[in-house]
């Protein structure tokens, strides 16, 4: 199996998963959509290993940049989002702290924890990689 | 960084696909290197130089100002 064949399989699997999710959502069957996604991922991983496709260094470099950009956009967005959701509920505005808007505080809390989790994962992985790639400090 | 990869590839009568297979990268990577849109790692640059049996400097040449834009 070569890369071209793998690309064709990838398109077919993505289409299959997409259709399965559409059917699952239409039928309110969320388990089916989860199974579809998992099966698709496993199948693609198997096809990739069978084709002997490894991401080359350019792809890795693109993935690094995309991950950095995702972090730079996502972290401040949910951080500010959580802050904005907290303001109405904590400032005692009766409209937002009661009734149908009461969920805003919970949502803000979820966003805040998500932000903290994201920053923690980044800090831990940064520390780990920094240790991994540091020199041993030998001076001659 | 400038390179003569396209020239050397033509001299050895290789297609982009064949060169990509020999150095273990995708064809897109070869295209990106040839068009100076991607700087190969030192390891890959050595691999290319070894394939064509030349010194690395014969294929890749460093230019002071061009480097900043290519890395971003």
> How far is Cα A82 from Cα A113, in angstroms, rounded to an integer?
9
**The two three-digit tokens of residue A78, written as one number:** 């949910």
> How far is Cα A75 from Cα B59, in angstroms, rounded to an integer?
42
pLDDT digits (tens, 9 = 90+) for A54-81: 678 998 999 999 999 999 999 999 999 9
Q: Where are the domains of chain B?
A: 2-58
Flag whether pLDDT at A51 surpasses 60: yes
User: Which of A56, A63, A64 should we substitute to test contact with B (largest number of B Cβ atoms within 10 Å)?
Assistant: A56
Q: Do A57 and B28 touch (CB under 8 A)?
A: no
User: Where residue A140 falls among pLDDT bands split at 50, 70, 90?
Assistant: low
| CATH number for the domain running over B2-58 | 1.10.260.40
Flag whether pLDDT at A34 surpasses 90: no
Using CA atoms, how far residue A6 sits from A15, A53, A60, A138, B31, in Å, is 14, 9, 19, 47, 20
Q: Do B44 and A57 touch (CB under 8 A)?
A: yes
Q: Stretch A85-109: mean pLDDT, rounded? A: 71
Report chain B residues touching chain A, CB-CB < 8 A: 24-26, 28-29, 32, 38, 40-41, 44
Q: What is the mean pLDDT of chain A?
A: 84
- B37 to chain A: nearest residue by CA? A58
Torsion over CA: A111, A115, A116, A117 (sign): positive
Give the pTM.
0.69
Residue A55 φ/ψ region, left for φ over 0, alpha for ψ in the -120 to 50 degree band, beta for the rest: beta
Flag whether pLDDT at A137 surpasses 70: no
How many CB atoms neighbour CB B59 within 10 A? 20
How far does CA A58 lie from the centroid of its chain?
Answer: 21
Q: Do A57 and B41 touch (CB under 8 A)?
A: yes
**The two three-digit tokens of residue A98, written as one number:** 């009661």
pLDDT digits (tens, 9 = 90+) for B22-71: 998 888 999 999 999 999 999 999 999 999 999 999 999 987 765 554 55
B29/chain A closest Cα distance in angstroms: 6
Q: Do A58 and B29 touch (CB under 8 A)?
A: yes
pLDDT digits (tens, 9 = 90+) for A77-89: 999 998 888 776 6
């Amino acid at each position: 199996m070569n890369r071209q064949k793998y690309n064709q399989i990838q398109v077919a699997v993505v289409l299959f998963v997409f259709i399965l999710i559409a059917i699952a959502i239409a039928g309110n069957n969320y388990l089916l959509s989860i199974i579809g996604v998992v099966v698709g991922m496993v199948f693609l991983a198997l096809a990739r290993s069978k084709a002997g496709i490894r991401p080359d260094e350019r792809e890795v470099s693109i993935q690094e940049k995309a991950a950095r950009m995702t972090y730079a956009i996502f972290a401040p967005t949910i951080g500010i989002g959580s802050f904005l959701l907290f303001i109405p509920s904590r400032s005692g505005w009766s409209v937002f702290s009661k009734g149908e808007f009461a969920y805003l505080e919970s949502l803000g809390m979820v966003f805040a924890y998500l932000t903290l989790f994201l920053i923690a994962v980044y800090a831990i992985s940064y520390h780990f990689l920094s240790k991994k790639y540091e020199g041993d400090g030998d001076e001659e | 960084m400038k390179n003569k990869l396209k020239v050397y590839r033509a001299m050895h009568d290789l297609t982009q696909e064949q060169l990509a297979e020999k150095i273990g990268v995708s064809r897109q990577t070869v295209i990106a290197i040839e068009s100076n849109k991607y700087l190969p790692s030192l390891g890959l640059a050595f691999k290319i130089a070894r394939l064509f049996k030349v010194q690395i400097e014969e294929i890749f040449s460093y230019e002071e100002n061009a480097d900043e834009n290519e890395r971003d």
